[in-house]
Amino acid sequence: MIRKIVFILLLLSTVGVFAAENEFRMSAPNIVSVGDQFSLTLMLNNSGDDLRMPEIENFDVLMGPSVSSSRSIQIINGKTSQSTNYTYTFVLKANKEGTFTISPASIKADRQVIQSNSVQIQVIKGRNQSTQSQQGTSGGNSQSASSAEVGSRDNLFIRFETNKTNVYKGEIIIATFKLYSRVALSVVDQTLPSFEGFWSQDIDLPPAEQTRTQEAVDGIIYQVYTLQKKVLIPQQAGALKIEPAEMVFNVQQRVRSQSVFDDFFGSVQNVQVKAKSDRVNINVKDLPPAPAGFSGAVGKFTLSSTIDKTNIKANEAITINIKIDGTGNLKHINALKFNFPPDFEVYDPKTDYNYSASGAGLSGSTKFEQVFIPRYQGRFSIPAVPFIYFDTDSKSYKTLYTNEFELNVAKGDADQNTTVVSSMSKEDVKYIGKDIRYIKNNDLSLSQKSQSFFGSFGFYFTYILSLLAFAALVVFKRKQLQENANVALMRNKKASKMARKHLNAASVCVKNNNRDEFFDALTRAFWGYLSDKLTLPISELNRENARTTLTEYSVNNATIDEFMQLVDTCEMARFAPTAVHDSIQELYEKGEKVISEFEKQIRKKA
């Protein structure tokens, strides 16, 4: 409420305090009406001479220059500083409408010629000029009447202005709260509207804006004070209303009195006046359909992202800094969500707002500090994260991306590792998402519809084929067996015949008394007979298996012994003819007897 005090001043004073070196300033009201008298002031913070004024056209110079000077000496902690101010004042009168410029004046100070600035003055056609002049004379017939007049809209009103009335949700609106007045007043009370549906923030007014300016409304020139400037950000769509602001002022009013003294000095009375601003309607449009990932940022931004280190050991903390610069609803930007590898330990991001409200809206930056700790060694990649905002200039969504970061995490220190591991000796596998399994890419075999191997001709054919093969095998094998059996039978039948033939040959030898040939023939008769009879090849026959085979054929042992004796004798005779003395006639008879015994005894195998 410093402002209250500041605004108590309501005199036409242009005195400012300038602490610069040599400064020469020209000032005049920026707007006057035709016929008005006003002062043009030139101020120098030093003593000077040789003031040269430019040609002042379009205005009548009624008076001037009148020079006044002020001087101040300050002693602070024994240090003396002094300042001198020289003020040159001209009284001008506007003659015609238009905008006119008064060129710079110059002055000599400290042997230097200093140029002042130029001023621009707008001259308007005054409306109802009489009101001001009447005020003093016929102003207050009664107190209530005068109070109404003094507080009337012509003399005093407040206005609430916004730079836009048709905005998008989240777009910044600058609202200005101005007091227009032509009378001296002081603020008693003010009720500012509650900005329902808006987020609001005061703008610190720069000193230049805190001073008053002149503005013409409907041909009347008002002193205008900017009371407050606010940044408004609509938080919801729809027709939003800003309720009127109310202010109560004390207005000084001259009261006419009977007393001559009063008349002379002017008696002044304070009258309370209420002023109310108009209601402001703001149409807030919803943003167009937002792309996925839009979190409500509206304005104009740039984005930068940095990481403090990329080569680290496991269990060390890393920080990613994100800075979003620009103008817009910086306060409403949510921290960007990084897609960290799943087993990173991620902390909540720290958000740091650093912005200021100014005439342009909110500008500055929002910083996010994201700290995380990789727990395992390896190479990791942190993908770029989009930051989507609504650009109020192009009325479209724009996307900025953070950098993509590659991390190289080395194995952590042993002791750190163990502390981590001991606390969670085994981890469950984290399921991050669930989706169907991927398509089968390798199996490209297709079959005709309603065609399957089962039940097909080929299927049954395989059965039949294998069955036929089996049958053929059985038949073939049977036949072979049969044939084998026939050969045995033949040989069996032939055996006696052959034996007899060999025996006959032997008997011839007996007649001729040819001993060598006799033994040969006899041996052949025996073995040939056995071979045929027992269906064993001659090469496989020897004494042992002959004995076993004969036993199998249930030949009695006496006959076998006799046969063996005969075979032994024959062999002995063949290799040592002198050792055998038996008569061959006897041997022949014995052989005949053995073979006939065999014929009798050899039956089918048991």
Partner 1 sequence: MKRLVTSIILLLAVVALNAQPAELLKKANELYSANKIQEAITSYESILKQGYESGALYYNLGNAYYKTDDKARAILYFERAKLFIPGDDDVQFNLELANQFVVDKINPLPRPFFVKWGQGIVNSQTANGWAVFSIVTFILLLVGAAGYIFLNSPGLKKISFVAAAVMLVFSLSTFGCASKQKSKITHRNHAIVFSPTVTVKASPDESGTSLFVIHEGVKIEIKEELSGWANIKLEDGNSGWVKKEVFERI
Nearer to partner 1, 265 or 457 (CB): 457
**107: Cβ contacts below 8 Å, ≥ 6 apart:** 24, 42, 44, 48, 49, 50, 51, 52, 113, 114, 116
Least distance (Å) from partner 1 to the CB of residue 434?
A: 7
Least distance (Å) from partner 1 to the CB of residue 371?
A: 35
Binding site residues, partner 1, CB under 8 A:
434-441, 443-450, 452-455, 457-459, 461-463, 465-467, 469-470, 473-474, 477
Nearer to partner 1, 414 or 444 (CB): 444
Contact assessment for residue 241 and residue 265, using Cβ atoms and an 8 Å cutoff: no
Nearer to partner 1, 261 or 431 (CB): 431
Nearer to partner 1, 55 or 443 (CB): 443
Burial bucket for residue 173 (CB in 10 Å: 0-12, 13-18, 19+) = buried
Instruction: Give DSSP secondary structure letters for 174-228.
Output: EEEEEEEESS-EEEEEEEPPP-TTEEEEEPPPPHHHHS-EEEEETTEEEEEEEEE
Least distance (Å) from partner 1 to the CB of residue 472?
A: 11
Q: How far apart are CA 291 and CA 294, in angstroms?
A: 6
Nearer to partner 1, 166 or 441 (CB): 441
- From residue 458, alpha-carbon distances to 331, 451, 455, 473 in Å are 78, 12, 8, 22
Least distance (Å) from partner 1 to the CB of residue 606?
A: 15
Least distance (Å) from partner 1 to the CB of residue 469?
A: 8
The residue type at 460: Y
Nearer to partner 1, 265 or 463 (CB): 463
Least distance (Å) from partner 1 to the CB of residue 480?
A: 10
Q: How far apart are CA 460 and CA 451, in angstroms?
A: 14
Q: At what angle do helices 457-512 and 584-601 cross, to 10 degrees?
A: 150
Question: DSSP character for 537?
Answer: -
Question: DSSP character for 540?
Answer: G
Least distance (Å) from partner 1 to the CB of residue 478?
A: 9
- From residue 409, alpha-carbon distances to 101, 343, 346, 372, 417 in Å are 70, 13, 15, 13, 13
Nearer to partner 1, 6 or 474 (CB): 474
Distance of CA 341 to the CA centre of its chain: 12
Nearer to partner 1, 2 or 446 (CB): 446
Least distance (Å) from partner 1 to the CB of residue 435?
A: 8
